[in-house]
Structure formats: C-alpha cells, structure tokens
C-alpha cells in the first residue's frame, strides 16, 4: 500500500487500532501522525485514535506511578483541547463527547466529565438521561466537588435549563 496514500493511511489506522486492542498505546501513537488538525474531516479517525492511545497510555502509566508524567499530562491536555474544538464544530458527535468525557476524567475534571457525559445523551437524543446527568453535575458543583470550575458550572446550569425545556415539550406532545 506504500504507493497508494489512501490505502497507506487506512493501513496505519488499522495498525493503530490493533495496537490499542492489544493494550499497547505507545505503539499505536507511533503509527499515528502527530498534530492532526481536528477541523479536517479526514483527521477524525486520527484524533479519536490518538485520544484513545493517550488515555490508554495514561492508564498503564498510572500503574507504575501514582502521578502522570508532565509529558503525558501535556499531551492529554492537547488532545482535550482538540476534542473541545471538534465538539464545538460537531456538537452531535456522541463518540467525541464520550472521548472528551474520558479525557476530562483523566485530568481530574469531574464536573466537565459529567457534563460531557450529559452531552453524549443529548447527541443520542436521550433527553431524560441527559437531564439526569446535568442535575448530577449541578449537585456536584453545589457541593463544591474537587476542582469545581465556576465557568463550567454556569454552562451546566444553562444546558440544564435547555434540556428541561425539551423534556417538558416532549411530555406535552405525548
């Protein structure tokens, strides 16, 4: 496939996916291009596989030490930012929201992770489940959970009101 760029890309993606299935996140990262731009539709696969590999690498790295290395934390932050950009452009991409939720959790951003889980439900048009998640996030923020971000809490409040409105409309239609 070396002479065919499209086939070569697909072979690399398949190789990365196989390495991830084997639990070898660093080998998967070696097969993926660095610096994939999330705005490029062709890079969705690269972005998602890179995020999964970074998460897997962080999970296996945490067994050896209790704190993630600065390099792992930095690359995870970069992936989180790229995923945030992706979901801003593609708010109905449930898989992207799920990966974003996982990266937030790996960074210790619980409130953001819960909100992203709620957005997964919104993307899947499961508004009652989304409302439940948003209310959980509101409760977390009220209790002042570790690392509560007031900006994120404001977003959660706004999204809760929006989803409550949708749930009420759906109830009236029945």
DSSP code for 32: S
Mean pLDDT by 10 residues, the chain (174 residues): 92 96 94 63 85 85 42 74 95 97 94 97 97 96 79 95 96 90
- pTM: predicted TM-score of the whole model, two decimal places: 0.83
Determine how many CB atoms are found less than 10 A away from the CB of residue 152: 19
66 phi and psi angles, rounded to 5 deg: -80, -25
**Per-residue pLDDT tens over the stretch 103-146:** 999 999 999 999 999 999 999 999 999 999 999 999 999 988 66
Q: 138-144, long-range: CB within 8 Å, 24+ apart, which pairs?
A: 140/110, 140/111, 140/114, 141/111
The pLDDT of residue 42 is 55
Is residue 113 within 8 Å of 84, Cβ to Cβ?
no
**Alpha-carbon distances, residue 5 vs 8, 11, 34, 39 (angstroms):** 5, 10, 17, 20
């Amino acid at each position: 496939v070396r002479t065919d760029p499209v086939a070569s890309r697909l072979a690399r993606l398949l190789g990365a996916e196989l390495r991830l299935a084997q639990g070898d996140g660093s080998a998967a990262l070696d097969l993926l291009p660095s610096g994939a731009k999330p705005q490029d539709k062709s890079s969705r696969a690269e972005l998602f596989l890179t995020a999964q590999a970074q998460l897997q690498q962080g999970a296996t790295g945490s067994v050896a030490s209790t704190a993630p290395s600065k390099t792992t934390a930095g690359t995870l932050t970069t992936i989180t930012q790229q995923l945030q950009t992706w979901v801003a452009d593609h708010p109905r991409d449930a898989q992207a929201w799920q990966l974003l939720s996982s990266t937030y959790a790996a960074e210790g951003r619980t409130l953001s992770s819960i909100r992203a889980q709620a957005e997964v439900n919104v993307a899947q048009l499961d508004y009652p489940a989304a409302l439940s998640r948003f209310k959980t996030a509101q409760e977390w923020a009220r209790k002042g959970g570790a690392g509560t971000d007031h900006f994120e809490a404001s977003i959660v409040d706004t999204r809760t009101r929006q989803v409550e409105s949708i749930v009420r409309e759906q109830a009236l239609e029945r």
